[in-house]
Structure 1
Amino acid sequence: MVEPPGPVLVVVPTYDERENLGPAVARLHAALPDADVLVVDDASPDGTGELADALAAADERVRVLHRSGKDGLGAAYLDGFRHALTGEHQVVVEMDADGSHAPEDLPALLAALTDADVVLGSRYVPGGRVVNWPWHRELLSRGGNLYSRLALGVPLRDITGGYRVYRRTVLEQLHLDSVASQGYCFQVDMAWRALQAGFRVSEVPITFTERERGASKMSGGIVAEALWRVTCWGLSHRLGRDIPQRPAGPVTEGAAHG
């Protein structure tokens, strides 16, 4: 395996994922024993945060960031990124807790950093696939990616995917405080910003497997937000008014436990 360019932190946002978190972390450490994990829990009523604390107490590679309530995927990741930038980690990974992102694919994503700054785990490049998804979910996903690709004029096949790897320098240079997107629109936003800032973004095939336990957080509102924002970004780009890119300000450490 190609060694990553420095310590790796895997950010795992959670809301009611008590059944899935333990197996996901165990599989991750089987695939990448040296990786640290930051669980970002949005005050899950099912006790996911308490389970995360127990995992952290038993394993120094696991840390927990407790948030006060459910504030959206994008906000959870941004808090996780800010926390990552207070430490020594040189690589930051986004990974779902529900088992849909196979930790066994992570070494290939990390190896791709040799020639990239951001690596997207892609369902829709050759070698990528989706398992056990209802046809309408896959159709919605493929349609959203096609629309984003055409509206923004980018070559990425899976810009909405949430399994991805960032070099630390990318998160340091993007203006994270100006990111307000949620849902999979957040993923489009971050990849779009990285491309605009001149970073190298590549895609690596992954196998995406529909969760076996728990309920999806996808909603019509998330899809509507994504379509609206992508349309606005595409129009702004054609008018020469892209999202401003400024160096991020000083990073302050969040309230982490574990």
Structure 2
Amino acid sequence: MGERDAVARRVVIVMPTYNERQNLEIMASRIRESVPGADLLVVDDNSPDGTGDLADKLCEADPRVQVMHRMEKAGLGRAYVAGFAWALERGYDLIVEMDADGSHRPEDLPRLLVAAEQADAVIGSRYVPGGTVVNWPKSREFLSRGANVYNRAMLGVRVKDATGGFRVYRAATLRKIDLNGIESAGYCFQIDMTLRVLQAGLTITEVPITFVERERGASKMSNTVIFEAFSRVAKWGISARLHGHSAASIRR
């Protein structure tokens, strides 16, 4: 199946935002050029910089843009779960998650959508052959690569980029996962989702992407986010070993 056929399916891009006013309009334009048949759902956590107001203006100008306003910043995971539920209620076939800061290139989206025809979930991967990272500080890249080595060792997964947040899920995949049971708030959400897909006996494909460091705005990474991921992965991995399994093989 070609790229044009894949995009013809009902596709929605769920994009959480918090203080991304500098990037949102540019990203919306690039998405429209790359996948003109896809819809965009902006999930804004009451950004004080006016990102939500800008999203409303984009919605008024483009019927393919929708906005979900949330009352407070409750974490990336909560925003995605709310967006996924919205998409499932409206009958979309493929649900995309991607960042609003420009690090996930909309130009890579068609290849991810094609891959979703053969897999239950697709990860745009920085760390498979062909994947690259551009302009990222070496300290951040070292942290990211180290986190993925840690994930594989603790959880028994083979996914190279379990922390990657540029993904496509089939609607049927999300329906097989207990989204309401997800407690991960920060970037650990990506690891949590990876585990849940594998534990449901579903398939994940990694597609190489070019990851580009943001040019505008501030990163949301913090010590709290890092600690959450480290501690939750340790808990999941130790619990699985006590029962003689890998975390990825446990059915929830």
Same fold (TM over 0.5): yes
Structure 2-normalised TM-score? 0.94
Measure the CA separation in 2 of the matches of 1:147 and 1:193: 18
Measure the CA separation in 1 of the matches of 2:131 and 2:64: 29
Native 8 Å contact 2:200 2:251 kept in 1: no
Structure 1 residue 239, shift from structure 2 partner: 3.0
Structure 1 residue 236, shift from structure 2 partner: 1.9
Structure 1 residue 114, shift from structure 2 partner: 2.4
Paired position in structure 2 for 1:151: 154
Structure 1-normalised TM-score? 0.92
1:64-213 alignment to 2 at 5 Å?
Answer: 64-213=67-216
Paired position in structure 1 for 2:240: 237
Q: Deviations over 1:218-245 (max 9, x none)?
A: 0011111101101111122223386763
What amino acid sits opposite 1:171 in the alignment?
Answer: L
Paired position in structure 2 for 1:255: none
What amino acid sits opposite 1:189 in the alignment?
Answer: D
Note the residue ranges of structure 1 that are not aligned, 5 or more in a row: 246-258
Note the residue ranges of structure 2 that are not aligned, 5 or more in a row: none
Paired position in structure 1 for 2:38: 35
User: What's the % identity of the aligned pairs?
Assistant: 57
What amino acid sits opposite 1:170 in the alignment?
Answer: T
* Residue 26 in structure 1 maps to residue 29 in structure 2: yes
Measure the CA separation in 1 of the matches of 2:171 and 2:153: 29
Paired position in structure 2 for 1:223: 226
Structure 1 residue 12, shift from structure 2 partner: 0.4
Aligned residues: 245
Paired position in structure 1 for 2:53: 50
Native 8 Å contact 2:199 2:251 kept in 1: no
